[in-house]
A and B are shown apart, each in its own frame.
Chain A
Amino acid sequence: MSKRLNRREFIKILGAGTGGALVGASTIQTFAGMKTASSADLITEGSIEKTPTYCELCFWKCAGWVHKKDGEPWKITGNPDDPNSHGRFCPRGTGGIGTYTDPQRLKTPLIRIEERGKQVFKEATWDEALDYIAAKMNKIKEKWGPECIALFTHGSGGTYFKTLLKGFGSNNIAAPSYAQCRGPREEAYLLTYGEGVGSPERTDMVNSKCIVLIGSHIGENMHNGQVQDFSEAVANGATVITVDPRYSIAASKSKYWLPIKPATDMALLLAWINVIIEEELYDKEYVKQYTYGFEELKKAVKKNTPEWAYPITTIKPHLIRETAREMAKNAPATLVHPGRHVTWYGDDTQRVRAGAILNALLGSWGRRGGFYAPAKAKVEKYPLPEFPKPKKDWKDAFPDQFPLANLALSSGICDATIPTPGKDCSFKGWIVYGTNLPLTLPEPKKTIEALKALELVVAIDIMPMEITGWADVVLPECTYLERYDDIRISPGRESTIALRAPAFEAKYDTKPAAWIAKELSKKLGLEKYFPWETFEDYLDYRLKSIGSSLEEMKKIGVKKLAHDEDLYFLNGEEYEFGTNTGKIELYSTALEEHGFDPVPKYTHHEEPPEGYYRLNYGRAPMHSFSRTTNNSYLTDLMAENVVWINPLIAKEWDIKTGDYVVLKNTDGTKSNKIKAYVTQRIRHDSLYMVHGFGHRQKQMSTSYLKGADDTNLMSRVKIDPIMGGTGMRANFITFSMEDV
């Protein structure tokens, strides 16, 4: 069966044609009388200016150039010297100007004049807004202590608020990117190798001969450099093994697509480890020289044969063997990709660790085609006075829980805000920078409960996101195209830095985060933590420490620095790993110490009840969560999400592609209406949608009620006892036919 979308349908389905918008069209003019002059010749007319930037549409932060023509915004392109993008931006970055031109942006500071959740604000001056915040912060400090204020952050500008909060006396700084995303991965690799994977990931995929993706939909998650590496490896003939209940784009590039029964990945990983050990396919020298606990591992996985895994995973034993042999054949240039968003079922640290163990058996850590040792530029920090020492932190609310959490949990701070008998629930103020918590944190009812209990909620954002509706004070930040930010220092194969300079004047009454934090620091008597006169001074100081300057960086955008680290292990060389034993721990002594399984074990996870399907969710290449779904260039490509349904299921429910359906979960929570996409590309036991849609903010009329919000359906989570990650694939949904 072939599903062909012709151009008009594509626009209809994925673009929802916005009709007569005329942005930029008037700049096309034709020369009268010149037969050969088509519109195309005239694009280069006019004066062109370029300003360096790094992108803020996702966390990859690709460096590029903002082009203006006759002073008007034109386009954004990549900087060829940038290792994160190699001069090629992804659709989001390319469409970044849509963020700047969005007419629905926040335009002025706002102060609430009604109870929280009712969106009645008055416009305020910056002075009024910051005075209001400072007064409340001081009141909280006096009454409950400075630690009772927490910061949620995602994005470049968060750094200044971190400084502010630390200066104020609180270390409760959380990013959903930890407990709701890649936290278990970092901890799993830290436990195994004594080092995390980092971002951008230290995967040497461009040189891999075999790539194993487990629920990692590269290509749909448009992590730029990584997609480039993947496509290069595919073009070079790498064998791709994709484990996914959905026929993802990556699956379509794979030699082996293993449509696994959801929630059973651990069984497959253990069976692979079993085959590699039993058939003696592992890298014996590497295992002997660098690893600890091989015998214990061997014993632990003895029973996890492919035949054992078959009824659990639905993957046939011969395929498990064949793929394990394929991995071994290409080792050490085999990459069992660690994934990124890995908070699925609550045993996520253990599952990711199983993959890390597999990599160790294949000898791919520290080897070409596996994982490299990243370089990172060392740039002097602007000198700041010492921060006060907080007396307590978020962990006090969770005695004896999550012993291996190395970063604060957003979900934990949320829990510790809701008044609960017998729990030290002490948070009274939230500062929320660029983090749309209602569409980010699972168990959204708890988020709302916490928001209602707070004494102060401040939201700093560009768009009137859902979180701003719950804030007492809304501070409008200008977009990344209108501001300087701190120097980008990304780990990678090369040591590089990148500059973001303002390409445009800040629109409306918006301000850069650095300015906002500094001005607020003055109101709080904390100006000593922002000792720089202007942000240019701050940047110039840091840049001069590496022999560059703001002036130079404005011209080049990206600078490569000398570094002498080896990318890979040297043959036979001894290495000490940052674990208890100094070895790669196949058997984790740290997990043993804390009473967890030292070797990963299979746990059976709950299955959907009759008539329900597992809610799976993921990414689309043209969007970054709920952040971009109001950007006109990007909504032009994808204006709403769809729910993927296997044809057998669709037949049972009499649903056709294009029908709008309402979904509901086992707790009776319903979704906004969402379009059905009936496709062979998904198993019969799960439904899938792209995360980030279903905005409920009328102020964002472009995205208002477009598609469904998966987070809203996540009323249940499975908590990872090791580090507190919130497993979000524990929700089961069905169709609510009375609402169709």
Chain B
Amino acid sequence: MARYAMAIDTKRCVGCADCVVACQTENNVPIGYCRDWIVQDTYGEYPNLSMEIRSERCNHCDDSPCVRCCPTSASHYAEGGIVLVTHDECIGCKACITSCPYDARYVHPEGYIDKCTFCIHRVKEGEDPACVAVCPTHCMIFGDLDDKNSEISKVLRSRKYKTLIPEAGTKPHVFYLL
């Protein structure tokens, strides 16, 4: 079994939003919507400042409230722990949107709920997700946590990292390297 995850190096990321466009074109995400996005946090007061830049998306949690609350089981765990939405089973009730602490889902203009898939179609072909493959700063690492020799396993052993809103208890699988 595999457990897919993503590590994003906040030290490398420059917040260019290339990941957002690459996802849009790869996955035909309509203009005006996005499956991933950029957050810039600035701390301190001039001139003592620090900043953290993050590319954010669905955290593909182990304990996903969106899967739990979905009345039709459209939201489900697919291989490698990836959380997906089966569009033709989705009734667009938005329970998952309300339950997601990360605001990672949106209503597609065709009526179903859409979100990051970790580009499972690419992963199956042995490729990185589109956002990872495009990033000019090489700030993202995608891989299998069950493989102790994968780059992501190694980087999570050697670097400090955090997850977002860990207190929500969802066991997110996008890690931010600090």
Contacts and interface: CB of A to CB of B under 8 A. Distances in A.
Interface of A: 1-8, 10-11, 14-15, 17-28, 30, 32, 35-44, 74-78, 85, 88-91, 94-95, 97, 218-220, 222, 224, 227-228, 231-232, 234-235, 247, 249, 252-253, 257, 259, 621-622, 632-634, 636-637, 646-647, 679-683
B103 A17 contact: no
B39 A4 contact: yes
A224 B25 contact: no
Nearest to B137: A231
B39 A257 contact: no
A88 B21 CA distance: 12
Given A7-B103, A10-B39, 8 more contacts: A21-B32, A25-B28, A28-B28, A43-B26, A43-B121, A235-B138, A622-B17, A633-B25
Given A30-B88, A43-B26, A219 B14 contact: yes
A247 B45 CA distance: 11
B56 A7 contact: yes
B79 to A, nearest CB: 8
Contact of B21 (A2, A3, A94, A218): A94
Q: Which residue of A77, A218, A683 has the most chain B CB atoms within 10 A of its CB atom?
A: A77
User: Size class of B's contact patch?
Assistant: 35 or more
B154 to A, nearest CB: 15
B30 A231 contact: no
Contact of B12 (A17, A78, A234, A622): A234
B56 A636 contact: no
A3 B41 contact: yes
B120 A90 contact: no
A1 B45 contact: yes
A94 B24 CA distance: 10
Interface in B77-105: 78, 84-89, 103-104
Most A Cβ at <10 Å: residue of B45, B53, B134: B134
Given A7-B56, A76-B25, A2 B30 contact: no
Given A20-B109, A28-B28, A259-B46, A231 B138 contact: yes
A130 B56 CA distance: 51
A18 B18 contact: no
Contact of A636 (B32, B38, B110, B121): B32
Given A37-B86, A40-B84, A683 B121 contact: no
A3 B130 CA distance: 28
A91 B87 contact: no
A622 B120 contact: no
B35 to A, nearest CB: 10
Most A CB atoms within 10 A — which of B25, B38, B39, B76?
A: B25
Contacts of A679: 42
A227 B16 contact: yes
Nearest to B12: A231
Contact of A680 (B20, B44, B103): B44
A681 B11 contact: no
B87 A38 contact: yes
A259 B21 contact: no
25 contacts: A6-B103, A7-B34, A10-B38, A15-B32, A23-B31, A27-B28, A28-B28, A38-B87, A40-B119, A43-B28, A88-B18, A88-B135, A89-B134, A90-B136, A91-B18, A91-B21, A94-B134, A228-B136, A235-B9, A235-B138, A252-B51, A253-B14, A632-B31, A646-B46, A681-B49
Contacts of B109: 20, 22, 25
A582 B139 CA distance: 44
B150 interface: no
A681 to B, nearest CB: 6
B41 A2 contact: yes
Nearest to B31: A21
B46 A91 contact: no
Closest 4 CB pairs of A and B: A219-B14, A621-B16, A40-B117, A231-B137
A7 B31 CA distance: 15
B121 A44 contact: yes
